[in-house]
Amino acid sequence: MKAFPISLIMATQIFAGGQKSSTLSVTAFVRPAARLEVQSATSVTVGVTMYPNAQALVWTAAGSCGAPENPKIIPSSGIHNVSFSPEELQGKDMVCLASSDGVLRTSARLPR
């Protein structure tokens, strides 16, 4: 897991007119996650957080998500818009996502 150290400095005023300060260190762990939001029959918004060196594969499927067929590759974490052509959607009723490291896997139904 990737750790992000965050330092916060807090200062308080004492009634006698003096100052006191202290440092608080916080570590946050960001875990991989993925979300598919179907915008239309041909467009999906993908929100993904991945480990370094991982990629997300996004493809359309009929019935269930098997092995990726002609996947679109998302190379980095973030929010990405993915569009599919009518040929890519022919006979397909869902969109699938899997990360190249095998950590993430999700799917969503496409509107008919």
CATH number of the domain encompassing residue 38: 2.60.40
What's the whole-model pTM score? 0.76
Question: Per the domain annotation, does 9 fall within a domain?
Answer: no
Burial level of 56, CB count in 10 A (0-12/13-18/19+)?
Answer: buried
Distances (CA, A) of 42 to 92, 95, 107: 11, 10, 15
Question: Per the domain annotation, does 20 fall within a domain?
Answer: no
Question: Per the domain annotation, does 11 fall within a domain?
Answer: no
Q: How many domains does the chain have?
A: 1
Q: How many beta carbons lie within 10 A of that of residue 27, not counting itself?
A: 8
Question: Per the domain annotation, does 14 fall within a domain?
Answer: no
Question: Per the domain annotation, does 10 fall within a domain?
Answer: no
Domain extent for 78: 32-109
Regarding beta strands 33-38 and 19-30, do their DSSP bridges make them parallel or antiparallel, or are they unpaired?
Answer: unpaired
pLDDT computed for residue 3 by the predictor? 52
- Round to the nearest angstrom and report the end-to-end CA distance of the chain: 39
pLDDT digit string, tens, across residues 39-92: 999 999 999 999 999 999 999 999 999 999 899 999 999 999 999 999 999 999
